[in-house]
Amino acid sequence: MSGPPSGTGIVLAAYGRGALVLAGGETMHCALAGRKLRVVCGDEVGWRRDAGGTPTVHSLAPRRNGLERVDSRGRAEPVAANVDRLAIVVAPRPAPDWFVVDRYWAAALQAGIAALLIVNKDDLDGAPIAEEIANYRGLGLAVAAVGGHSGAGMEALRARLAAGATLLVGQSGVGKSTLVNALVPAADAQTAELTRDREGRHTTTTARRYRLGTDAAIIDAPGVRDFAPPARIARAAERGFVEIHALAAGCRFGDCQHLREPGCAIRAAVDAGTVSARRYESYRRLLRLYDRFAAH
């Protein structure tokens, strides 16, 4: 046995029945006490050594917030907790799936977390994605253009992420890990440790938290393609779409879902071209997803 007998810490990565915990500047693999205890990346936990000296997480502090996805049965599942900022990464290649971007942004809006769109790979032709990026910017989503390879915009990005915990999300291949490596000194070393569990086995991909300077952290979330904000509240989808939410008061019916109802201000705006038809379609897809879950 070594080190202190108990303390508090923060979960850097959760896996199966254990977690990598940062406590007092040290990282350690912890077991989880009890079957019911489930922790996610970013959780604040209490731990103590069991009789055999193994550090074991036994308590979980209340979460300030949490980013959730819905699983294939429509159940909410936390991806990360205590997040201050959601950074959605896109690039000219792979071609963005804007529906995924919309869902991430909607999740951030619903969770009350600041959102940032990072446009990576400045060395590639950005023309094919420029119009959508401009639309997001116009809707109030902050945009940071960077080059993981060229280094362009990286100091400005670092400054933007200097306080709080940032959850990095986006399709596989957009350059999330490249950005983490550029931003975090010795990220490779941290990663090596993070990908092994207590028995030294390599764990499957899970969200991973890295220190970013003294006051900040960055969480690299592996591609979660089926990511969607959970439908806890009525009209959850609408809240996730700022332009729809802003116009909804103009609909004839107070419970308008903006589908086929007469007097719908949103459909009128789509027809008039003031609301993006693509974003509207994205809203409808999210609504259909919720309906499918609700039917089960």
Ligand X SMILES: Nc1nc2c(ncn2[C@@H]2O[C@H](COP(=O)(O)OP(=O)(O)O)[C@@H](O)[C@H]2O)c(=O)[nH]1
174 makes contact, choosing from Zn ion, ligand X, Mg ion, none, with CB < 5 to 8 Å by partner type, with ligand X
Query: How many binding residues for Zn ion (CB under 5 A)?
Result: 5
CA distance 194 to 212: 16
Q: Which of residues 121-180 bind Mg ion (CB under 5 A)?
A: 176-177
CA distance 226 to 111: 18
Minimum distance between the CB of residue 54 and Mg ion, rounded to whole angstroms?
A: 30
Among 65, 178, 191, 205, binds ligand X (CB under 6 A): 178
Counting contacts by CB under 6 A, is residue 124 touching ligand X? yes
Minimum distance between the CB of residue 258 and Zn ion, rounded to whole angstroms?
A: 4
Residues 270/87, Cβ–Cβ less than 8 Å: no
Counting contacts by CB under 5 A, is residue 266 touching Zn ion? yes
- Describe the crossing of helices 277-295 and 265-272 by its angle, rounded to 10 degrees: 140
In 3D, which of 113, 117, 105 has the Cα closest to residue 80?
Answer: 113
Among 56, 82, 120, 282, binds ligand X (CB under 6 A): 120
Distances (CA, A) of 221 to 119, 125, 178, 205, 290: 17, 26, 13, 8, 23
Among 175, 229, 230, 240, binds ligand X (CB under 6 A): 175
What does residue 30 show for φ and ψ, rounded to 5 degrees? -115, 150
Counting contacts by CB under 5 A, is residue 256 touching Zn ion? yes
Specify the stretch interacting with ligand X by CB under 6 A; choose among 47-55, 168-176, 256-264, 281-289: 168-176
Minimum distance between the CB of residue 46 and Zn ion, rounded to whole angstroms?
A: 48
Counting contacts by CB under 6 A, is residue 78 touching ligand X? no
Q: What does the block give as tokens for 278? A: 């693509």
Instruction: State the CB neighbour count (10 A cutoff) for residue 22.
Output: 15
Kindly tell me the number of DSSP H helices and DSSP E strands found in the chain: 9, 13
Instruction: CB nearer to ligand X: give 117 or 174.
Output: 174
CA distance 249 to 264: 10
The residue behind tokens 């009525």 is 234
> Closest residue (Cβ) to ligand X?
148
Interface positions with Zn ion (CB under 5 A):
251, 256, 258, 264, 266
Interface positions with Mg ion (CB under 5 A):
176-177
Interface positions with ligand X (CB under 6 A):
120-121, 123-124, 147-149, 170, 172-178
